[in-house]
Structure 1
Amino acid sequence: MNVTYTHQSICSLKGSTVDISCFYTHPSWHNVTEVSWFSKWESGVTNDLSQDPEYADRVKYHRQTDKDSTLKITDLRERDSTEYKLRFKTVNAEWGYTFSGTTLSVTGLQVEVTPATVTEGQRVTLACRTVCTLIDNPNPSYIWYKKGQRLTNQNNSLILNPVSSEDAGRYSCAVEGFEDLPSAEETLTVKYGAKNTLASIHLSGEIVEGSSVTLTCSSDANPPVDKYTCYKKNGAHYQSLSYGNTELQHVFSHIQSSDTGEYYCEARNEMGTDRSESINIDVKYAPKSTSVSVNFSGEIVEGSSVTLTCSSDANPPVDKYTLVQEECNLTKASGQSYSITNIISEDRGEYYCEAENKYGRLNSSRVFVDVQYDPKNTSVSVSPSGELVEGSSVTLTCSSDANPPVKRYTWSKKIGYQSISYGNTGPQHVFNHIKSSDTGEYYCEAWNGIKTGTSESINIDVKYGPKNISVSTSPSGEIVEGNSRLDPQQ
């Protein structure tokens, strides 16, 4: 009797199905009563695989003739790797123990990465390995997968030269025809410097002064970024703000207008440094530093041309300026500039500007516009009013509107076609004991250093009782009887 196995050794994929076959001979007078397969020989005792709990649901025996047998094992497992033998019984004996059987090696696919640690730009090889040569397909085609997606390569080696960060990921392989039996995934890790660094602000609207704003920096790097630095443009240079070791967030808890500007992030790891594109932070705010100015050098004289200009710091820019004259609470203009081409004394006073945009309004401090002009409305008044009686006290008062104020008053009395000046006596001329001789026309002149203003004349009529009583005769000389004469009693 003899048993001949088709293969001394077989290599099959884990999870696949294998057929182990053999042929046996026996004398014609020995009728075979039982055929079975076994894998263990212990003290002369064998166990039928079909009865073994580990194989019972996975093995089947097939016979084409009474001299062959095939063992089919499905769902191969690595522990199925061992030697398998046939046993057959006849009426008189059992055979198969002493013959060499078929050795089964169950292998899984494995992805090997060389070198184990790779830096972007280097060459890396991924090999699909088995521990033995597959019996059914010694030169198979291979299928490669990245993150579950099939690649076009069909060799047992996948070469990436140069490797990039985009090549990093989970790879697996399979033998063509056994796509449902892929290898375990192997992760390819590619080290690279920081890239795709980004500075960002997430807002639903405008950035308004006083609100909270977060500037976030992020970057793609392997190993991860160990330092972020945030910079703000300051003139021709950039100023460092802060840094961290994770995704950087620079928080402006109460952002100010001074925070407006250009920013960028820098990311660094052991492989290199990368910087983001610049982003602009535009902080909106209500008007501030509102002021009003007068574009006139020197003293403003009545008749001059004067322009008042409003200015204010605001974002967005001021959309409405209002110039107000304080004393009258009078709106002079709705615009940034107000020109007075022929200024008059009534334009004299305090002015302020009101600046307004969509976020608020602010008034400027007051500026005084001092208009200088000649004395005007010069006039004389007398006190007391009514009849002026000789001997009483009488005061003449000169008044005049002038800027600068009147510096000198001059009093004069008209006598015929001439005038007598009393000189610089001040705004009042006082008659402590007025006399009848003071009767007449008086006027005053007011001088403010620019010009002189002259009042209308006022008439002073001093009332008095009889004075200088005397007796006289007419004609003069000797009085002759019979002549006419003036009788004082008549």
Structure 2
Amino acid sequence: MALRTAGSVLVVFLWSVAVVLGQNGWSVTYTTQSICSLKRSTVDLSCSYAYPRGHKVTTTFWFTKIDALENYVNLRDDPDYKGHVTYRSDKNKDCTLKITDLRLSYSAEYKFRFITDQEGGKYSGYPGVTLSVTDLQVKVTTTWWSTTLTCSTTCTLTGNPTYIWYRNSKIVQAASSPSYSVYFKTEDSFYCAVKGINSPAVSVGGHSYFHVTYTHQRICTLKGSSVNISCSYTYPSGHTVSETNWYIKGKLHEAPQILSPGYGGRVEYLGKMQSDSTLRITDLREEDSAEYKIRFRTDQTNWEPTFPGTTLTVTGLQVKVTPATVTEGQKVILTCSTTCTLTDNPNPTYIWYKNGHVTTQSNSLFLNPVSSEDAGRYSCAVEGHKDLYSPEETLTVT
């Protein structure tokens, strides 16, 4: 079923008691100190600021990071935020930050900083605004008389939103409650939405009898690492599970590929056969990227769920040098990127290597100004996986 995405986006405006930080006439006032918003939505982080008479503000910016040289990284200069941030400033000393098309990796503490024309005229508002970005997931709870669907998030959405439930793309409920109950067996698909942001769809067919709940709908993890793909399941009383099988969903006209324990020396089954199962795959390769599902056999029947399993994406690391052509004295940024946001570490710290030796740990590597001594071969790894490093990228300084 094709899911429709409404044309509107979720914009969160913050109206709360201001928090004022500062001393001796210096201050930054944040409208709120925390906010929870949805992936792909838009958010406004509002603030105002003050400073002593006789000063003239020359520079204002927002930041989340401080580079290895202890320089504050302007969000406008951060490649991860390119095209996603807008500053709003006026004579009333408004310093609102707008972030569009939110990503899970944007969860961070955002702080405002301004600089004046006087010596020592620098000020940052600590603590800042903590932004938590979440996505929508449908959780299923089944009893013998009904199935309850809950539109779930990892944090409480700011602004008391309305949850809209769709059954086969038609609205069946709009309410402040995130839950919707089904009192009949159906093969229909359901999904929820908040201001045009949709969750993945789920099928509740047969929930009164057989049901599988996958822990993750999608997993992104590093090439060379290990992953656990897990699920729990329920079935009619009186049945006993005799066999479980994990498999890769086959392409059109292809049979599913069963991943038996020991398959290729990299597969292991964990869990309790009667209630849950975990597929562990080690030494991951990019070709392991696929949709993984489970089917099981009881002493009375074979059963295979028709709704989606867990989609695994295996990614490598890549170093990018900005700008591509480097001249001595320029500001150079080295970023470490993946093809998807890592599930267990959406905002990682990277270990940076130069000519095979560790140089620093930071989100990005800033060389400002760059010199001929900085030339060399650079690679990166995610903290906690220091042996899974990227291919080397050569930095040439002319």
For the aligned pair, the TM-score class normalised by the smaller chain equals 0.3 to 0.5
- Using structure 2 for the length normalisation, give the TM-score: 0.45
- Using structure 1 for the length normalisation, give the TM-score: 0.37
Q: Whose strand fraction is larger, Structure 1's or Structure 2's?
A: 1
